Structure 1
């Protein structure tokens, strides 16, 4: 029932689950004593009374944020600060920028959020309000996450330099960190994708699933889910953009414009094509379908069809087949055989969507 303790003795399953993906836990998975005394944040209660599931989740949010803020501080002061204060520049300015991104902004936000959380008196609704009121501020994580691949590349470059690698090792030893800088730079990416999961744990076990308190928890979940979704979407687009550049560099006999002019890469796949001996590699962009042939690591250009001129013909005889063609050259169809019904469904779905989107784009306003 809502609000009840999870059954069983010993550490509950959720304790490990909440900690594992963020590395912000005490070694045993439970929060340890602070200043030598056990936590007693739940107001006046009998010494033997156990906190409820929701109270434990709230405590997890607050204390893991405390650990997270401390980790961020160690990056800002223990690494970045020392680089800035060094008499002789250890890293080039562009290396510093790529390596740390906007980590100082992230640290400031986490510190402010922690102050708010500490003043909530472990009230789940008050904790939820902290996230709702700061919803706009979490946008800075998008910048950090988008820069994260650059951070990894910059750190890899630094570790190849003996002097820089020695400096980072010394910083790590001075702070007595078991993990190197790279593990700490990953923490903001992990943390921002964790908030909505923690808040969901509160909602799942909330005693009264109605009223203002519950509604604000749901609003906080929606807020942080949107942030997580947006960051994941940006990450996906970033990965697709990198792949697009890679395809461009491997494309032979292409006389057209830069592939970025065709928008985002939506799908790519290899298909058997009717009456063609070798398989063809297809790349579906927002504005065009690119048809190529593999040659080693390269792709040899064969054809491309703008999505505004693309036709899709679905086979009624073969559940795995579908055809594409330029509507002005209907006889030059490409009859593709998918490897599974799901692959066919995904490709035909996106082709239909892009045909519609591009079709609307070229219809004159007067005709609409």
Structure 2
């Protein structure tokens, strides 16, 4: 375990940084909060910060639970708070008594300029005889190693990201709740921002730990310790398309357009809210890349290298899982669209045939018009195209699918149903890349749906190497040699597919 592994105990130390004030609670209470804000705060949004920029921004919104908070890192010793940049108004000029000390604070640059003029010489920032402090134009800074620069990048980009989250939560969500009279329903607000508050809270705590990390291995350990907590990003990423849809609907309403434009101008944001809502999706998919960069400059012999590798594996798995869930969601939506446009299909719901793997339009021999092909995990569906609709033509279950790869035309391949030998479809792809893609997945699904159980050796060869193995299909070797191949029966199961130079050898059990 690397040094600093016990930093959990430091979290409870007395000198721990104060936690951020929570201005907005969980989204489950949006309905009650919007209802309760419909009184005194109706029609107004309390927080304005007109002097901030996107790169250095403090808290610019005082919502219903944080109306007394000022910018990050600024506090007032006075009992009453003033907006940032405001000047206190006095009813009368403050009186001085005889014991008051009058301080005339002159800027150092002005003092040096006056001294230079009085001496008739050039203005210098420091002289040998001067009693002023010596100012160096180039203050030497310690040179950082590549590893230290990567660590700094991780921390600094996290700081900027948390500032952006804070702006979404307080400057937009909190203000929408405070205004009360915007034409937005609570459910729409909930969909628009999803669980952004949970993400803000989670990353604020992550940032606190990252800022306290003494070395690179401790940085990596922060991600390993929170591996399961990153699941909250899955919820946000899955909801993101709905969030964009709600925001685009808002842009059709003049009052909402005016509200969001005023917010953006008041906050000095160069980018609109839609861009800020995308940041969590971008950030969660970038962590593993930052950690990979960290690993490049980390000595493999140093203590803690294994922790860095674990962090890369953890965050790569998180990114892969989110991408996979998003892909499945998109395919599910597309599947519903296909079902609504499919005519004359009398079979069960298409969702019962697994995920939609591929779809495309092909010219088919002896057919005038193109056919639409939909490849599912368990079935190949073929339909005619008529305007926006698909007219069902036929289907082939993957367990009965026969594939002939080599035809006279290099762009063609043939699919047929081994239970109906006369039903054959010679398909022409648009290019070699499209043909390779379809052959790859057709071969894969033929193997996955083959009724015979594969011996362990065959599973080891085929199971983990579908993407790498050129001839992973049960019928590959035979089908590439004959346009009218003999049927293979269940007892003929591949034990191994071995590549030897330019030739492929397939053994059968």
TM-score by length of 1: 0.80
Of 161, 168, 173, 1:80 maps to: 173
Distance 2:439 2:361 in 1: 15
Aligned 8 A contact 1:25 1:64 in 2: no
Q: Establish whether residue 251 from structure 1 lines up as the match of residue 342 from structure 2.
A: yes
Of 264, 285, 300, 1:172 maps to: 264
Number of the residue aligned with 1:292: 383
Please list the CA deviations of residues 296-352 of structure 1 after superposition, one character each: whole Å capped at 9, or x if unmatched: 333222111222332223336554332222221111111222333433332222223
Q: What aligned pairs does 1:113-192 form with structure 2 within 5 A after superposition? A: 113-121=206-214, 123-192=215-284
Number of the residue aligned with 1:201: 293
Of 52, 72, 93, 2:186 maps to: 93
Query: Residues 362 and 102 of structure 1: is their aligned pair in 2 closer, same or farther, counting only changes over 3 Å?
Result: farther
2:312 alignment partner, SS class: helix
Q: What aligned pairs does 1:269-280 form with structure 2 within 5 A after superposition? A: 269-280=360-371
Please list the CA deviations of residues 70-123 of structure 1 after superposition, one character each: whole Å capped at 9, or x if unmatched: 1101111111122233444641122112101111111111101101101103x1
**By how many angstroms is 1:156 displaced?**
0.5
Distance 2:158 2:353 in 1: 42
1:271 alignment partner, SS class: strand
Distance 1:166 1:226 in 2: 41
Distance 1:110 1:294 in 2: 49
Of 194, 199, 204, 1:106 maps to: 199
Gaps of 5+ in 1: 1-23, 27-33, 36-45
Aligned 8 A contact 1:308 1:362 in 2: no
Q: What aligned pairs does 1:221-232 form with structure 2 within 5 A after superposition? A: 221-232=312-323
Distance 2:241 2:452 in 1: 34
Distance 1:141 1:361 in 2: 41
Distance 1:178 1:318 in 2: 55
2:404 alignment partner, SS class: strand
Distance 2:292 2:415 in 1: 44
Gaps of 5+ in 2: 1-53, 57-72, 75-138, 455-490, 494-509
1:324 alignment partner, SS class: strand
TM-score by length of 2: 0.59
Distance 2:407 2:373 in 1: 22
**By how many angstroms is 1:160 displaced?**
1.0
More helix by share: 1
Please list the CA deviations of residues 17-54 of structure 1 after superposition, one character each: whole Å capped at 9, or x if unmatched: xxxxxxx978xxxxxxx99xxxxxxxxxx934321122
1:332 alignment partner, SS class: strand
Q: Establish whether residue 342 from structure 1 lines up as the match of residue 433 from structure 2.
A: yes
Pick the structure with greater CA Rg.
2
Q: Establish whether residue 62 from structure 1 lines up as the match of residue 134 from structure 2.
A: no
1:278 alignment partner, SS class: coil
Distance 2:260 2:282 in 1: 22
Distance 2:160 2:418 in 1: 60
The total of aligned residue pairs comes to: 323
Please list the CA deviations of residues 197-255 of structure 1 after superposition, one character each: whole Å capped at 9, or x if unmatched: 1111111122x223432221111111111111111122222222222222223323333
1:333 alignment partner, SS class: strand
Of 306, 311, 315, 1:215 maps to: 306
Aligned 8 A contact 2:403 2:414 in 1: yes
Of 418, 436, 449, 1:358 maps to: 449
**By how many angstroms is 1:193 displaced?**
0.9
Please list the CA deviations of residues 265-290 of structure 1 after superposition, one character each: whole Å capped at 9, or x if unmatched: 10112222222222222110112111
Distance 1:74 1:212 in 2: 39
Q: Establish whether residue 260 from structure 1 lines up as the match of residue 344 from structure 2.
A: no
Distance 1:82 1:25 in 2: 21
1:135 alignment partner, SS class: coil
Query: Residues 274 and 189 of structure 1: is their aligned pair in 2 closer, same or farther, counting only changes over 3 Å?
Result: same
Query: Residues 361 and 127 of structure 1: is their aligned pair in 2 closer, same or farther, counting only changes over 3 Å?
Result: farther
Number of the residue aligned with 1:308: 399
Aligned 8 A contact 2:182 2:256 in 1: no
Q: Name which of structure 1's ranges 314-323 and 153-162 shifts more when overlaid on structure 2.
A: 314-323
1:254 alignment partner, SS class: coil
Aligned 8 A contact 1:324 1:334 in 2: yes
